């Protein structure tokens, strides 16, 4: 059998053989959307795909082809952004996983590259559990990073996300174009810091990004991005997630 853990590299008998030994599948889910003037539109799916592949190799778990499009409604003012309705993404993820369940999958690990996909992935995960009793763990690297490392990831197309992209492929990031511009406050009492805050507490105030960040990137400034920061986060995150996958394998049940 081939050494690859990437599903697209395998023949169907090889896939069936791998599923008979282990019922975990890693599914990267990304987005194609603006990430400021310095970073590629594919940032979220390049990152989700690269992280998923590294986690799969570390954990010895199969990795599905990445879903490159998600819900990016708030970014549609920026050319090149593609957005699908969350319900469409839920259905897409559910059906892809449903096919894998038919062929032996019992546990999934979603590597989500984009916060806007969150609700859709949660719906798909619950529906998969309700209908087939399969477990889904969904993970977002930038949420986890401040909790498990010194990297306080806090941006969209800013210091940390651009660094992560540089660690994956520096040739498609142009840091000379990095030029972060964002508002500091919306009113005297509603401030902006990678999200809106009123009297110190986060307020879910939904505005298109063009209203608070005219270049498209916001949070920690992209000018401070460095490949080494990305490499550090990449290593910490993929080690951590490979560990979670070992634990998921110990949960009794599955298909
Ligand atoms: Zn992103």
| pLDDT above 80 (res 111) | yes
Cα of 97 vs centre of ligand 1, distance in Å, is: 23
Cα of 134 vs centre of ligand 1, distance in Å, is: 28
User: pLDDT band at residue 253, thresholds of 50, 70 and 90?
Assistant: low
Residue with tokens 């778990």: 61
Tell me the pLDDT of the chain averaged across its residues: 96
Share of the chain above pLDDT 90, in %: 96
Question: 112-127 pLDDT, tens per residue?
Answer: 999 999 999 999 999 9
**Whole-number pLDDT of residue 2:** 61
Cα of 38 vs centre of ligand 1, distance in Å, is: 13
| pLDDT above 70 (res 186) | yes
Cα of 35 vs centre of ligand 1, distance in Å, is: 6
CATH of 7-144+233-250, one of 3.60.90.10, 3.40.50.720, 3.40.50.10310, 1.10.1040.10: 3.40.50.10310
Neighbours of ion ligand 1 (CB under 5 A): 44
Averaged pLDDT, 129-145 = 96
- What predicted TM-score, i.e. pTM, was given to this entire model? 0.96
In this structure, are residues 208 and 75 in contact, taking their beta carbons and an 8 Å threshold? Answer: yes
In this structure, are residues 46 and 130 in contact, taking their beta carbons and an 8 Å threshold? Answer: no
Cα of 80 vs centre of ligand 1, distance in Å, is: 14
Question: Which class for 200: exposed (0-12), middle (13-18), buried (19 or more C-beta within 10 A)?
Answer: exposed
């Amino acid at each position: 059998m081939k050494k690859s853990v990437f599903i697209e590299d395998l023949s169907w008998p090889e896939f069936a053989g791998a599923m008979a030994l282990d019922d975990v599948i890693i599914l990267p889910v990304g987005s194609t959307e603006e990430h400021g003037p310095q970073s590629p539109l594919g940032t979220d799916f390049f990152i989700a795909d690269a992280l998923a592949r590294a986690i799969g190799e570390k954990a010895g778990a199969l990795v599905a082809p990445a879903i490159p499009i998600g819900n990016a409604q708030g970014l549609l003012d920026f050319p090149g952004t593609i957005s699908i309705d969350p319900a469409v993404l839920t259905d897409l993820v559910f059906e892809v996983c449903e096919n894998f369940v038919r062929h032996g999958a019992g546990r999934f690990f979603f590597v989500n590259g984009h916060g806007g996909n969150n609700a859709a992935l949660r719906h798909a995960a619950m529906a998969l559990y309700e209908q087939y009793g399969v477990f889904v763990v969904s993970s977002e690297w930038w949420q986890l990073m401040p909790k498990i490392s010194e990297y306080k990831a806090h941006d969209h197309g800013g210091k940390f996300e651009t660094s992560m992209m540089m660690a994956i492929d520096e040739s498609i990031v142009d840091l000379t174009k990095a030029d972060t511009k964002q508002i500091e406050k919306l009113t005297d009492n509603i401030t902006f810091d990678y999200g809106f805050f009123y009297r110190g507490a986060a307020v879910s105030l939904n505005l298109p990004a063009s209203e608070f960040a005219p270049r498209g990137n916001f949070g920690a400034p992209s000018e401070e991005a460095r490949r080494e920061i990305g490499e550090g986060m990449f290593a910490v995150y993929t080690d951590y997630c490979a560990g979670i996958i070992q634990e998921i394998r110990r949960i009794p049940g599955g298909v």
